[in-house]
Amino acid sequence: MRQRASCQDKGKNQTILHKLRQKSKECLPVFRKNGADVLVELLIEWGVDHVYGMPGDSINAIIEALRQRKDKIRFIQVRHEEAGALAAAAYAKLTGKLGVCMAVAGPGAIHMLNGLYDAKLDHAPVLAITGQVDTAVMGLDYFQEVNVSRLFDDVAVYNQLLISPVQLPAVVNQAIRTAYAEKGVAVLAIPGNLPAMKMEKDTRYTSPRVAKGTMQPLAHDVDAVCAALNQTDKNIVILAGKGARGARAELLALAEKLGAPIVLTLPAKGVIPDRHPYCLGGLGLLGTRAAYEAMQKADILFMVGASYPFTIYLPENAFTIQLDISARQIGKRYAVDIGIIGEAKSTLSQLNERIAYHENREFLASCKANMDKWWKKMESREEAESPKILPEYATRAMEEVADDDAVLSCDVGNVTVWAARHFRCTNQHFILSSWLATLGCGLPGAIAAQIAYPERQVFALCGDGGFAMTMADFVTAVKYDLPIIVVVFNNQKIAMITFEQEVLGNLEYGTGLVNPNFAAYAQSCGTLGIRVEKKEDLLPALRQAINAKRPCIIDVLVEADEIPMPPKVLKEQAIGYAKHLAKELWEEGRMSLPPILRL
């Protein structure tokens, strides 16, 4: 009897359960995911572990979805959307992974634009998510309504306004794949009412895997390069760009076989060690005299992953070979005799197997001798006596305390010159805004670097002008306990523009700055701030900052009139500066000591 009753109870329970299931199906839309849930799930599926942004009304539903999944994906609140976009771009440059930033409709979207252009010009994969006004009021000049599709049209490789949550899986997939494939910016504009809409049915997601094959060169191109290099005993110079990153061993092996010195573009700093015997440093206004002279004497120029814009510093008539992963870059700015398309590491490996060893080392030896002279000159400037701290010395001091795997996020201006010449990279990672050259990139880059590599030292090297542009986001580093070290070269002026004005024959105007005490600012943010006015105090301050393991600003008062002299003063520059001195004497009754006398 008990067994029969048990069976009856079980049958009743199954009937009740069936009715509950039927009832739940009728109410199922209440429990379905909304658009914001799907968007955040898709980001997680693609391996995104953090998003930079500022909360706001048109993206509040997305913020809530991020909150619910904060164990999988972090929301990094920034104080200005430009800083968020610059950080996303820097993260992508450092890691090769997708950087993601987000902003509200209207002003927030507009604020992101500068950082997104930095990503575009430096070929960094970034996804920008922007809010938009509700679909019901689009096109009615509503509050904060901006035509975001038109706004982002030039900066984006993928630019889409969504009108239904059903689009999300396919459109997000397409946006991210395009950003990776074209190494650029993808923009998704999402109306404010869309993220809260319920999905009509469960949705399948496309696998987030991206095939990462290597671009192999054509056999006849390899033949042509080998034939050209094996049949010559002329002077060969290698110009390596950031496309050579990750191919250090192959690049050095090629240089050894050819007896060719290596010149680096600025974005390629650190591709090989700065003090390697074959390295001649950078080229152009920020470069070295040894690199300039090598280019003047080059008979053959081999460009590896480089797209150098300042062709005045390249040889006039050299036979030129260009290796690049993109066919678009071949001969883009400089005439090329042989173009070869391929990934640097694998292509150089193939070439090294077939290129003969060049016995003649005279040109290489002369280049090494010139570089030795250059280093002695740089060391002399670093140790020179001065009433204030020389920026050359301050940069070398940073090099002395930096770990071998440290990240240096460099801002734009004279600090770029000092970093290029006086921070000798070994294995450190050096990043900056290479092509847009936007002031204010140093701090957001450091924030991104510390998030990407929490165990590494991260330095931001900033001028006072550049740091002031994004300094509000130093509190972002404080909020998230990111132990970045911001070194501010404080000379109370926009120094590079001052130099440019003088070289043009003009008087300095509009470049002076009134600065706060940046160390006191750090202290007001609740963290460490150190002001350094004497040379002997700088190294102890740097070590104190490193040991503190928390965000820090070191406010270094550097010599205001220290000028980054070009490696070779051109005739036009000398004439322009002479005009400046004449104007200065005539209009102001004084004459500064010409920096050209330091050569």
The pLDDT score that the predictor gives to residue 496 is: 83
The pLDDT score that the predictor gives to residue 569 is: 61
d(CA 224, CA 147): 50
- pLDDT one-digit tens code per residue, 511-524: 899 999 999 999 99
End residue of a domain, out of 370, 402, 424: 370
> How much is the average pLDDT of 165-169?
92
Residue 356 lies inside a defined structural domain of this protein: yes
The pLDDT score that the predictor gives to residue 564 is: 81
- pLDDT one-digit tens code per residue, 459-499: 999 999 999 999 999 999 999 999 999 999 999 998 888 88
Residue 25 lies inside a defined structural domain of this protein: no
Same domain, 389 and 362: no
Residue 90 lies inside a defined structural domain of this protein: yes
| Average pLDDT, rounded, for the chain | 90
Query: Do 330 and 210 touch, CB atoms closer than 8 A?
Result: no
For residue 26, pLDDT over 80 is answered with no
For residue 2, pLDDT over 50 is answered with no
Same domain, 454 and 531: yes
**Could you tell me the sign of the dihedral formed by the alpha carbons of 516, 520, 525, 529, in that order?**
positive
* Domain enclosing residue 459, as ranges: 384-598
End residue of a domain, out of 370, 392, 415: 370
Q: What are phi and psi of 462, to 5 degrees?
A: -130, 145
Question: Given pLDDT bands bounded at 50, 70 and 90, which one contains residue 565?
Answer: confident
Same domain, 90 and 181: yes
Element (H, E) at 29: helix 28-31
CATH of the domain at 488: 3.40.50.970
The pLDDT score that the predictor gives to residue 563 is: 81
> How much is the average pLDDT of 193-208?
82
For residue 434, pLDDT over 90 is answered with yes
Same domain, 485 and 592: yes
Residue 263 lies inside a defined structural domain of this protein: yes
Instruction: Give me the numbers of helices (H) and strands (E) for the chain, helices first please.
Output: 22, 18
Same domain, 432 and 557: yes
- Cβ neighbours of residue 525 closer than 8 Å, sequence gap 6 or more: 474, 475, 478, 551
SS3 assignment for 418-469: HHHHHCCCCCCEEECCCCCCCCCCHHHHHHHHHHHCCCCCEEEEEEHHHHHH
Same domain, 227 and 81: no
Angstrom distances, CA of residue 434 to CA of 216, 303, 416, 598: 27, 18, 10, 28
Element (H, E) at 350: helix 344-354
Residue 15 lies inside a defined structural domain of this protein: no
Same domain, 238 and 366: yes
Query: How many domains, in total, are found in the chain?
Result: 3
Same domain, 290 and 409: no
Same domain, 167 and 279: no
The pLDDT score that the predictor gives to residue 302 is: 98
End residue of a domain, out of 328, 344, 370: 370
Residue 1 lies inside a defined structural domain of this protein: no
Q: What are phi and psi of 193, to 5 degrees?
A: -85, -15
Question: Given pLDDT bands bounded at 50, 70 and 90, which one contains residue 394?
Answer: very high
Query: Do 155 and 165 touch, CB atoms closer than 8 A?
Result: no
CA 337-338-341 angle, to 5 degrees, is 145
Same domain, 288 and 341: yes
d(CA 24, CA 266): 62
For residue 374, pLDDT over 70 is answered with yes
Q: Does the predicted model carry a pTM greater than 0.85? A: yes
Same domain, 406 and 465: yes
> How much is the average pLDDT of 201-216?
76
d(CA 585, CA 51): 55
Residue 512 lies inside a defined structural domain of this protein: yes
Percent of residues, the chain, with pLDDT higher than 90? 76
The pLDDT score that the predictor gives to residue 513 is: 93
Residue 9 lies inside a defined structural domain of this protein: no
Same domain, 36 and 157: yes
Angstrom distances, CA of residue 575 to CA of 413, 459, 571: 23, 38, 6
